[in-house]
């Protein structure tokens, strides 16, 4: 095992232990101060659960990453840290006292522009729509759109136990392996330390009622922001072409983060088709559909984990295809997956109707007998 691998393993162990050890104290604080996510008509939990688990994730990954990263990254790190702090405090504030959507959007754009100013931005579309290199204005615009869009997609998919944390962990580990392979060791370190914190968090997110917590906006926004930083670094790495023989890194990224993006576009389309604002809260997310089909939180999350792994395997297997081909392939897989979802939902509804009919028939026979 080379020194870089040992270095990363040490950092991952630190991130896991920090989150694992401090989260119980955060849960206790939430109970003392009554910091709960209260159930309502659009939420799937029925009891009050602390929603500040993102604090444990933030502390857990930020300390070891800061201590273990190399001096070469510090020119960019100050911008990364500033963007993290901006979204973290915004997320905590929104978890405790909900903020206006336009204020959150403004702050998210601010975080994206900070990253762009630090040099973390997309400079080429690698042939998508025939576009290669883009100018500075186009770079800032596309990068900001990407960061805000993906960050909100991960925020929106955080709807059932284990889903955002599990998908985020899979994404971080995948991107960490790819970045390590192309010699982006500091960003691989970021990916793996965040994954370590997520794994520790999942113990409490999937735990017993008394020790349970959600990551909240503070956690999901940081997760989305981290995925965008890692994705941009992979897209911009020249060694992705040399060491991995990848034709289009953007196509690979599309497959890795497909589920939250696809789900967001899907629910936006449903809302707009109903004449509603795309930002209107509802229960049309893919995980809600799985729950409506009779699956438990754990089973629904596991199915989406498997779907994510299949999409990742798919784009890596066809890595020699162009970006558009990989994106179209990902869309086709997503459509098939959605069709399977509706088939499950139809079967569940048919079963419910059949059971109701039998119950009514039994009541009718009982009344006739009386």
Output the pLDDT for position 368.
58
Residue 245 has pLDDT above 60, yes or no: yes
Q: Read out DSSP for 153-172? A: HHHHT--STTHHHHHHHHHH
For the full predicted model, state whether its pTM sits above 0.95.
Answer: no
Q: Is residue 80 part of a domain?
A: yes
Q: What is the mean pLDDT of residues 94-109?
A: 91
Looking at the chain, the whole-number percentage of residues with pLDDT higher than 90 is: 49
| pLDDT tens-digit readout, 250-266 | 999 999 999 999 888 88
191: confidence class by pLDDT, cuts 50, 70, 90: very high
Mean pLDDT for the chain overall: 86
In a domain, 233, yes or no: yes
- Residue of higher predicted confidence among 291 and 194: 194
Please state, in angstroms and rounded to a whole number, the distance separating the CA atoms of residues 310 and 333.
9
Does residue 179 sit within a domain? yes
Q: Is the pLDDT of residue 47 over 70?
A: no
Total residue length of the chain? 370
Instruction: Identify whether 215 is part of a domain.
Output: yes
End-to-end CA distance of the chain: 79
Q: What is the pLDDT of residue 370?
A: 54
Q: Tell how far CA 326 is from the center of its chain.
A: 20
Q: What band does 44 get if pLDDT is binned at 50, 70 and 90?
A: low
Instruction: Please tell me the distance from the alpha carbon of residue 152 to that of residue 223, in angstroms, as a whole number.
Output: 10
Neighbour-count burial of 138, counting CB atoms closer than 10 A to its CB (0-12 exposed, 13-18 middle, 19+ buried): middle
CA distance 206 to 164: 12
In a domain, 64, yes or no: yes
The pLDDT value given to residue 219: 94
pLDDT (mean) for 40-50: 62
Residues spanned by the domain of 205: 3-353
Is residue 83 scored above 80 in pLDDT? yes
**Distance separating alpha carbons of residues 1 and 291, to the nearest angstrom:** 43
Tokens, residue 74: 């510090």
| 134-148, 168-182, 352-366: range with lowest mean pLDDT | 352-366
Indicate whether 148 belongs to any domain.
Answer: yes
Q: What is the pLDDT of residues 302-356, one digit of tens each?
A: 989 998 998 999 899 888 888 888 888 888 887 787 777 667 766 766 666 566 6
* Alpha helical stretches, state H, the chain: 3-33, 54-68, 74-96, 101-117, 136-156, 163-181, 185-205, 216-236, 239-244, 249-256, 258-273, 286-292, 297-317, 323-369
Q: How far is Cα 286 from Cα 37, in angstroms, rounded to an integer? A: 21
Mean pLDDT of 154-171: 91
Whether 99 is covered by a domain: the verdict is: yes
Q: Quick one: pLDDT at residue 349?
A: 66
Assigned token pair, 3: 């020194």
pLDDT level of residue 86 (50, 70, 90 thresholds): very high
How many structural domains compose the chain?
Answer: 1
- Residue 180 makes CB contacts below 8 A (sequence gap 6+) with 4, 5, 8, 188
Closest Cα partner for 304 from 168, 148, 128, 211? 168
Residue 365 lies in a domain: no
Provide the token pair at 140. Answer: 């800032």
Instruction: Give CA 327 to chain center in angstroms.
Output: 19
The sign one gets for the Cα dihedral 167, 196, 109, 72 is: negative
Spatial separation of the C-alpha atoms in residues 307 and 241, rounded to whole Å:
26
Contact yes or no for 303/338 (Cβ under 8 A)? no
Place 291 in a pLDDT band, splitting at 50, 70 and 90. confident
């Amino acid at each position: 095992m080379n020194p870089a691998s040992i270095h990363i393993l040490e950092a991952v162990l630190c991130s896991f232990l920090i989150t694992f050890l401090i989260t119980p104290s955060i849960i206790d604080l939430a109970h003392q101060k009554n910091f709960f996510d209260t159930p309502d008509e659009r939420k799937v939990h029925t009891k009050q659960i602390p929603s500040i688990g993102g604090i444990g994730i933030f502390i857990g990954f930020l300390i070891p990453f800061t201590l273990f990263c190399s001096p070469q990254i510090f020119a960019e790190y100050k911008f990364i840290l500033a963007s993290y702090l901006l979204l973290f405090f915004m997320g905590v504030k929104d978890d405790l006292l909900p903020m206006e959507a336009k204020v959150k959007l403004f702050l998210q754009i601010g975080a994206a522009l900070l990253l762009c100013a630090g040099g973390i931005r997309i400079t080429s579309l690698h042939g998508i729509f025939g576009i290669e290199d883009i100018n500075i204005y186009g770079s800032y615009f596309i990068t900001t759109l990407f960061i805000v869009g993906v960050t909100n997609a991960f925020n929106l998919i955080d709807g059932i136990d284990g889903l955002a944390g599990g998908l985020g962990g899979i994404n971080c580990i995948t991107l960490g392996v790819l970045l390590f392979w192309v010699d982006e060791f500091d960003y691989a370190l970021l990916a793996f330390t965040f994954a370590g914190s997520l794994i520790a968090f999942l113990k409490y997110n999937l735990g017993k009622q008394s020790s349970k917590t959600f990551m909240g906006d503070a956690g999901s926004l940081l997760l989305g922001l981290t995925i965008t930083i890692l994705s941009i670094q992979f897209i911009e790495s020249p060694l992705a072409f040399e060491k991995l023989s990848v034709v289009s890194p953007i196509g690979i990224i599309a497959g890795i983060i497909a589920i939250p993006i696809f789900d967001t576009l899907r629910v936006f389309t449903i809302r707009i088709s109903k004449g509603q604002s795309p930002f209107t809260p509802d229960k049309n997310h893919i995980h809600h559909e799985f729950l409506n089909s009779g699956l438990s939180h754990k089973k629904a999350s596991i199915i989406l984990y498997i779907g994510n792994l299949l999409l990742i395997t798919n784009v890596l297997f066809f890595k020699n295809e162009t970006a558009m081909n990989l994106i179209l392939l990902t869309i086709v897989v997503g459509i098939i997956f959605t069709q399977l979802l509706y088939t499950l939902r139809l079967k569940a509804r048919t079963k419910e109707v059949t059971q109701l009919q039998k119950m009514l028939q039994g009541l009718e026979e009982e009344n006739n007998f009386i």
